[in-house]
Amino acid sequence: MITRDVVTGVAGVMLTAWVGTPTSAAEPAPAAFNNHCRTCHSVKEGDHRVGPSLHNIFGAKAGSSNYAAYSQGLKSSGLTWDEATLDKFIENPDQVIANNNMKPYKGIGDQGLRKEIVDYLKSQGSSP
């Protein structure tokens, strides 16, 4: 009897774990990203469009992907993309990196929208 209860218990735990797996999927893009970034950026690895792929951008050094058209300004900025640098760059690229080539992009004044985008970028590339 005891073994039977244990087996049922283990099966139950396994089933719960299996049903719960969708949490590891990448988050869907928020409207703010689709509206302001998607024309030029993809988050798929190596998928460079007008701008470089933003896969794994969080924690990366600026200008470190194999995108071919980086400006000298961005490549030599020495920046690492974290919450603060991404937020400021999205607010006003020119203020963070002089002579960057992210044009024509006008910046986003709304802090809430910027946070949605930064949180989204943070979630990209962190899945196994």
By the criterion CB under 6 A, which residues form the site for ligand HEC? 36-37, 39-41, 50-52, 54, 57, 62-63, 65, 70-71, 73-74, 81, 86, 90, 100-102, 104-105, 108, 117
The DSSP bridge partners found for residue 80 are: 61
Minimum distance between the CB of residue 118 and ligand HEC, rounded to whole angstroms?
8
C-beta closer to ligand HEC: residue 6 or 103: 103
C-beta closer to ligand HEC: residue 8 or 34: 34
CA distance 33 to 12: 39
HEC assignment per residue over the chain: CHHHHHHHHHHHHHHHHHHCHHHHCCCCCCHHHHHHCCCCCCCCCCCCCCCCCCCCCCCCECCCCCCCCCCHHHHCCCCECCHHHHHHHHHCHHHHCCCCCCCCCCCCCCHHHHHHHHHHHHHCCCCC
Minimum distance between the CB of residue 25 and ligand HEC, rounded to whole angstroms?
21
Minimum distance between the CB of residue 24 and ligand HEC, rounded to whole angstroms?
23
C-beta closer to ligand HEC: residue 13 or 27: 27
Q: Which amino acid is at 59?
A: G
Minimum distance between the CB of residue 96 and ligand HEC, rounded to whole angstroms?
10
C-beta closer to ligand HEC: residue 20 or 104: 104
